[in-house]
């Protein structure tokens, strides 16, 4: 690899790169490689059914062995592995209960207690890497007013959401970075739940209770839609209820991510509740995607669903990506987080834990923080 300059997160981000055979890729081309990929892992590709609904792999007995310091060394334990895509959470759980699958991901928090109490099943959890928030379109009323955006942060009871929806398996966000990120600003604390402060800020912004209790401004009610995907439906409905509790007419609409992504990136929606990966525990790969202004044709702002843009934030993000002095990087990212905390382009919500479940006959399996499924040493009893 030849770099044009310093890039501090290189080693952390290196694990996201897949090594492929150059000659084979050049021979079959991109489409041919997609149809029959070749990698370097302990399993080899056999077949993918239409739309990647199922991928079949089998053990590669010629596997090079793995790193000597990471046991076990040698071929995989299981002779084959099948990945099935089951979007509906209840269907995934039913498949596990019926013995049709051995491991499931994204276990719904409301079903954790049930699965833990079921004989023959095991539930495991661990720190997550996908902070969640409700991004507000800062260029569209009513969220073009910073006081409104701050008010909505105070209007959400994150502790209640963590208790009731996540069964305690989450932690509140202290702003724009995950609390587990190596560069999180430890001076920032999560927005407190304070209805009075929320209403006071909304009043300062001109929103006052109308005859039916709904907040109004110039005779126009405060109403908006929270767009989201199925996995975040319980959280979206919970915060919509909390917004209604202070007189905001908030509702929820569900989408497929592939459909809504382009709309929010183009600034066509008012609010979007979702998450973004932070698996390197470094701002790079995360902060420039969510909080840098969108620069088409580059990676900058590729996940900026709030249409937020701040020249100082952009400059600091770009400098932090190439600054080799860790202390200077810390100063830059601390400043970025302070600005974002104040300007509040999102309602900063929670960092959920990763929750997965398996049959008790599965051995040597642990959920990965970034959601990857590593099966090299996983066996079936």
**Number of neighbouring beta carbons within 10 Å of residue 138:** 21
Tokens describing residue 78 = 């299981």
Query: Among residues of the chain, what percentage have pLDDT more than 90?
Result: 81
Rounded distance between C-alpha atoms, residue 68 and residue 327, angstroms: 34
Residue 305 pLDDT level (bands cut at 50, 70, 90): very high
Mean pLDDT in residue range 181-199? 97
pLDDT confidence band for 50 (50 / 70 / 90) = confident
Q: How confident is the model at residue 144 (pLDDT cuts 50, 70, 90)?
A: very high
Domain limits, CATH 3.40.190.10, in the chain: 21-126+354-380
Q: Could you tell me the pLDDT band of residue 362, with boundaries at 50, 70 and 90? A: very high
Q: What is the mean pLDDT of residues 273-283?
A: 93
- pLDDT at residue 87 is higher than 90: no
- Tell whether the model's pLDDT for residue 270 goes beyond 90: yes
Is residue 44 predicted with pLDDT exceeding 80?
yes
CA 5, 10, 13, 16 torsion-angle sign? positive
Mean pLDDT of 305-319: 98
Does the pLDDT at position 89 exceed 90? no
- Please give the pLDDT value at position 218: 92
Q: Distance of alpha carbon 161 from its chain centroid, rounded?
A: 17
DSSP secondary structure string for all residues of 248-264: -EEEEEEE-HHHHHHHH
Q: Are 133 and 290 in contact (CB under 8 A)?
A: no
The confidence score (pLDDT) of residue 67 equals 79
d(CA 171, CA 127): 10
Q: So what's the pLDDT on residue 197? A: 98
Provide mean pLDDT across the span 340-345: 98
45: Cα separation from own chain's centroid: 28
Q: What is 132-352's CATH topology?
A: Dipeptide-binding Protein; domain 3 (3.10.105)
DSSP code, position 340: H
The mean pLDDT of the chain is 94
pLDDT mean over 311-331: 97
Instruction: Catalogue the E-assigned strands of 234-345.
Output: 249-255, 271-275
**pLDDT score of 97 more than 90:** yes
pLDDT, average across residues 51-58: 88
The more confident residue out of 255 and 113 is 255
Beta-strand pair 43-48/54-59: antiparallel
- Does the structural domain 21-126+354-380 have CATH classification 3.40.190.10? yes
DSSP state of 62: T
Which pLDDT does position 196 carry in this prediction? 98
The CA-to-CA distance between both ends of the chain, in Å, stands at 43
The secondary structure element, H or E, covering residue 204 is helix 195-204
Domain with CATH 3.10.105.10 in the chain: 132-352
- pLDDT digits over 160-187, tens only? 999 999 989 999 999 999 999 999 999 9
Nearest to 44 by CA among 53, 52, 54, 55: 55
């Amino acid at each position: 690899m030849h770099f044009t300059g310093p890039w501090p997160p290189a080693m952390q981000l290196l694990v996201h790169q897949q090594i492929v055979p150059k000659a084979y890729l050049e021979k079959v081309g991109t489409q041919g490689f997609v149809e029959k990929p070749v990698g370097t892992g302990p399993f080899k590709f056999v077949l993918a059914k239409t739309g990647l609904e199922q991928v079949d792999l089998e053990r590669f007995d010629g596997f090079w062995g793995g790193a000597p310091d990471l046991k076990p060394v040698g071929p995989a334990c299981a002779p084959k592995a099948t990945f099935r895509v089951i979007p509906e959470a209840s269907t995934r759980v039913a498949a596990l209960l019926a013995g049709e699958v051995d491991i499931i991901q994204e276990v719904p928090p409301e079903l954790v207690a049930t699965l833990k109490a079921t004989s023959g099943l095991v539930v495991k959890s661990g720190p997550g890497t996908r902070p969640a928030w409700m991004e507000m379109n800062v260029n569209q009323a009513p969220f073009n007013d910073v006081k409104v955006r701050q008010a909505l942060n105070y209007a959400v009871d994150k502790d209640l959401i963590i208790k009731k929806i996540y069964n305690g398996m989450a932690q509140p966000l202290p702003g724009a970075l995950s609390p587990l990120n190596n560069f999180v600003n430890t001076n920032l604390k999560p927005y407190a739940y304070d209805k009075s402060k929320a209403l006071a800020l909304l009043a300062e912004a001109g929103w006052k209770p109308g005859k039916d209790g709904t907040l109004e401004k110039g005779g126009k009610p405060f109403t908006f839609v929270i767009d989201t995907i199925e996995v975040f439906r319980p959280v979206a409905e919970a915060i919509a209820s909390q917004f209604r509790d202070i007189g905001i007419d908030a509702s929820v609409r569900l989408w497929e991510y592939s459909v809504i992504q382009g709309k929010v990136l183009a600034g066509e929606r008012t609010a979007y509740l979702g998450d973004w990966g932070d698996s390197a525990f470094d701002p790079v790969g995360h902060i420039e995607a969510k909080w840098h202004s969108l620069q088409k044709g580059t990676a900058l702002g590729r996940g900026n669903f709030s249409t937020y843009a701040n020249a100082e934030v952009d400059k600091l993000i770009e400098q932090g990506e190439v600054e080799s002095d860790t202390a200077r990087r810390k100063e830059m990212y601390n400043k970025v987080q302070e600005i974002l905390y104040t300007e509040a382009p999102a309602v900063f919500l929670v960092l959920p834990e990763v929750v997965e479940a398996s049959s008790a006959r599965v051995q040597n399996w642990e959920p990965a923080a970034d959601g990857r499924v590593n099966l090299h040493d996983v066996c079936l009893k």
